[in-house]
Structure 1
Amino acid sequence: TYSPPKLFSFQVSSPFSTGPRQDDGTFYEFRTYTVKPDKMKYFLELTSKNIHLRTAHSQMVGYWTSEFGGLNKAFHIWKYESFAQRSAVRTALAKDKEWQEKYMSRMLPLLDKQDNEIVYLVPWCELGSPPKDGVYELVTFQMKPGGPAVWGQSFKAAISIHIKTGYTKLIGVFHTEYGLLNRVHVLWWNENSDCRAAGRHSAHEDPRVVAAVRESVQFLESQQNCLLVPTAFSPLK
């Protein structure tokens, strides 16, 4: 049975640890907005014009729209050094009249749904950056209950083998702290969609990848992915 306190007991120095956090308290908030289908163009224009009001309060890692794996979605990542910082930022945003009047009051009616998760980078991964503009793939793995003690080693091995194939670049591996538990998000970068398709085809024929995935998949409950296109104002391109 999954037990959150046990996750915190892992030593982050372990080479196979896939625990919920690294040495410091830095975490990331994944926010997903489902926009009304006929409002996406206006949503992006409004956000592009006013996002500087939001980034004045805390760091935005990236901002994307979904191309495949879910339509009319805006996905963005925000970085925080502590929960106290996030709380202070949310309080400040609520009091920021310019942000509330110019953006929030106009943006909220455009949405059908909002979702968020709090995630940590796994201890063996640093946040990467792309070599140039491209597209991103967010792959979400719902693992079996038990946490990294059960599936951490095999999961890391599978990710490592995919990196070694060289067809894609790892941006980050994130473990959910608030949201669905035993969930891991992997964010990849590719030069374009065709490069990603060709790389995946080659990987599926690579015996190293096949062996690693076969080992890891026994701990997998479900998997989904989404192709993301960075917006003009996204730090990660």
Structure 2
Amino acid sequence: MFNIRNALRRATAQADSVVFCRKGREYSRASISTGPQQQHETFYEFRTYYIKPHLNAAFHKLTNENIHLRTALSELVGYWSVEYGGLNQVFHIWKYESYAQRAAVRAALAQDPNWMEQYISKAMPMLSSQDNEVTYLVPWSKIQNPPKEGGVYELVSFQMKPGGPAVWGQSFQGAVCTHAAPGYAYPVGVFHSEFGLLNRLHVLWWYENADQRAAIRHKAHSDARVVSAVRQSVAYLESQKNKLLFPCSYSPLK
């Protein structure tokens, strides 16, 4: 029975990945040249906090105790600690329906004495720096929950050549889909930057664990379809970076 359930989960995950890309190919023909930011108002703010090394545990404890004060005002998509690709960092994604909503949320937080006294006044001295970026889901992507809880996430960031999706959108979509459709990796979301570095794309992948990721990458890179698609996309690539993320206990995406 256990093996049957696992097989069903794998089949469902693979089917979701196929739909994720198939819809994209139908939709992108009409829209990818205009850029994802023109399709809808909803955007996602990526925030990265750099924690002073000796205060890492204290920061996580403080956040766990007070995150409810923040999530009462807007939607938290996920909150992760960075395991590989950057030490003493946390990465979190917040969803907003408009810039007006974000401004209202920030104003409300500044006037909330509990948030300011119980969290901000204590958390800010624990950080060495902060960074944020506004992103949109590309037209052929949506946020997908992983097939089960307890895995790890990989955030892969691609700096593409200037020109936007009209130049590299189709080849990049092909590279992502050749990884997703056969079930090599499970795409949680694909994002395109609006504020921050431009011509930047982020793919958030999910794996059962770090060893599974390593095995899958080895297998995928032996697949002629993946090799061909990646070679086409690399022609427009300037650089890339990845981070392995562990979801925090208070993260909606586990």
Identity of aligned residues (%): 62
TM normalised by structure 1 equals 0.93
Task: Give 5+ residue unaligned stretches, structure 1.
Answer: 1-11
Match of 1:20? 36
1:217 is aligned to 2:231: no
Work out the CA distance in 1 between the residues paired with 2:233 and 2:40.
Answer: 28
Deviations 1:159-204 (A, max 9, x none): 0100023121000000000000000000000010011000000011
Equivalent pair of 1:171/1:189 in contact (CA under 8 Å): yes
Work out the CA distance in 2 between the residues paired with 1:73 and 1:27.
Answer: 23
* Cα offset, 1:13, TM superposition: 4.3
**Among residues 59, 73, 86, which one is paired with 2:75 in the alignment?**
59
Q: How do residues 185-204 of structure 1 correspond to structure 2 at under 5 angstroms? A: 185-204=202-221
Q: How do residues 22-101 of structure 1 correspond to structure 2 at under 5 angstroms? A: 23-101=39-117
1:137 is aligned to 2:151: no
Deviations 1:101-136 (A, max 9, x none): 000000000001100000000001111111112100
* Cα offset, 1:20, TM superposition: 3.1
Work out the CA distance in 2 between the residues paired with 1:156 and 1:24.
Answer: 19
Match of 1:106? 122
Match of 1:208? 225
Work out the CA distance in 1 between the residues paired with 2:227 and 2:40.
Answer: 35
Work out the CA distance in 1 between the residues paired with 2:239 and 2:27.
Answer: 28
Residue aligned with 2:36, SS: coil
The structure in which a higher percent of residues are helix is 2
Equivalent pairs counted in the alignment come to 226
Equivalent pair of 1:61/1:76 in contact (CA under 8 Å): yes
Work out the CA distance in 2 between the residues paired with 1:29 and 1:164.
Answer: 27
Work out the CA distance in 2 between the residues paired with 1:111 and 1:164.
Answer: 40
TM normalised by structure 2 equals 0.87
Root-mean-square deviation (CA), in Å?
1.3
Work out the CA distance in 1 between the residues paired with 2:68 and 2:191.
Answer: 26
